[in-house]
Structure 1
């Protein structure tokens, strides 16, 4: 099955990732406004009528800010862990809320969405793999350090949104206070360019067609720098930087090699 993916926005000002097939789609997080989500999808030729659910990675505002209006207007079920919901401040009426649990697959039509835990300074953070038959797309952002869950799933994906949040030297020399620098690089914050590149070089499957570098810091990274690092090791994988200001094009992802069951 062919899957279509785009980053509608990626960064500390808002995160929203679209994965779908011809009939249905899901959003991973909705951190930009309902109006902006509509505008960006319309520019891409995508319809919100195909979106059947929103999946929430964690409760930070740049991932959930747009949910109340978007979910209420389109009556979209919001899949969220109990711990994340408890700390999110989201309203519990006006749209359907569905309990999300790690490694319990959720079927949205022919899409299978599986969450798994990650290292981040939130109450119950999760990453996602969205599968359409044999085609798999990972959404791997807001990760303090690679863990065995991330390595396992990244190595099975045909495409991935992969965090490359900061350049270590830019962060060290930058204007952020010491406590914030330590929060970012302390194991429960974000992945650096180098951490993401190490994962990419060591565990990227030969059949991965696209990687979208995501959640780049405005102050502590440079899109050209991040892309150049990955381009040196990309082989046949297309490297795209997901913008914090605009949507990416829509990319068609198709499995050229089947992999095992999601576990």
Structure 2
């Protein structure tokens, strides 16, 4: 059974990622408004009725801004750590379910595991979503690679991977020193180079898609990040998750493919906007 993934928005102005199969789906973070979430999913042909839960990575506003309205309207369980929920503000406590590191959550045929990451939040977590033999990683807001990240990255068929800033653009940019220090200080965000190093050193041969995520508006450039990765991509389809609009829906289906068929597979599964109403 294939898995369908999409970024509904990715950046400091809001983050929300969709992962689902033909019957059920989950959202990782809810950082855009309920109305905008609905509009973007509708444009992609995705149904909110298939969304069965929301998983929250941490309490920063760009990850929870739309959580209260969205969860209440659709009566969605919210998986969030105990420490995080107390810093979330408008969150429906009656819908919250404690998220425990490495304790798998079953949502239909989906299995979701959260695990710790380096970020300046209370109890920040990354996620891996598994459907049968297919594994999807949501790895953003990471200050530095750690063993948790590397171990899960090396298992994934597709990932949302943070590539927040270009080191030279950051150094020459207008941000004050304290903010630059926060971003690159080990509990902020990954640079293009850090993300690329993870990709080169730990990418499994079967990884079909990478969506570069959470790009800085001021300290990065989508074309620059894409160019850095493309030269090392091989058969992996690389794209950038926009901070202004939804991505296409990517179809992740790890069927065996002969080497000569890899280009055709990328065209079919990497660029086909698949509607599952």
Aligned to 1:17: 17
Residue in 2 that maps onto 1:163? 162
Offset at residue 87 of structure 1 (A):
1.6
Distance in 2 between the 1:203 and 1:177 partners? 34
Give 2:80's aligned residue. 80
Whether contact under 8 Å (1:129, 1:137) holds in the other structure is: yes
TM-score, normalized by length of structure 2?
Answer: 0.91
Matched with 2:65 is 65
For 1:13-72, what per-residue CA distance to the aligned partner results, in whole angstroms no more than 9, with x for missing partners? 000000000000000000000000000000000000000000000000000000000000
Q: Return the alpha-carbon distance in structure 2 between the equivalents of residues 87 and 72 of structure 1.
A: 18
**Counterpart position of 2:110:** 111
| Alignment match, 2:270 | none
Corresponding position of 1:237: 236
| Misfit runs of 4+, over 3 Å | 90-93
Q: Structure 2: any 5+ residue segments left out of the alignment?
A: 257-277
Find the aligned partners of 2:62 and 2:255 in 1 and give their Cα distance.
34
For structure 1, which runs of at least 5 residues remain unmatched after alignment? Answer: 258-263
Distance in structure 2 (CA, Å) of the matches to 1:61 and 1:5 = 23
Q: Does 1:149 align with 2:151?
A: no
Cα RMSD, aligned residues only: 0.9
- Find the residue that maps to 2:86 and give its secondary structure: helix
Kept in 2, the 8 Å contact 1:10–1:215? The answer is yes
Does the 8 A contact of 1:207 with 1:256 survive in 2?
A: no
What's the secondary structure of 1:36's corresponding residue? helix
| Length-normalised TM-score, structure 1 | 0.96
Which residue of 1 is the match for residue 134 of structure 2? 135
Q: Give the conservation status (yes or no) of the 8 Å contact 2:212–2:241.
A: yes
Verify: 1:246 aligned to 2:261, yes or no: no
1:88 counterpart SS class: coil
Residue aligned with 1:213, SS: strand
Give 1:260's aligned residue.
none
2:206 counterpart of 1:207: yes
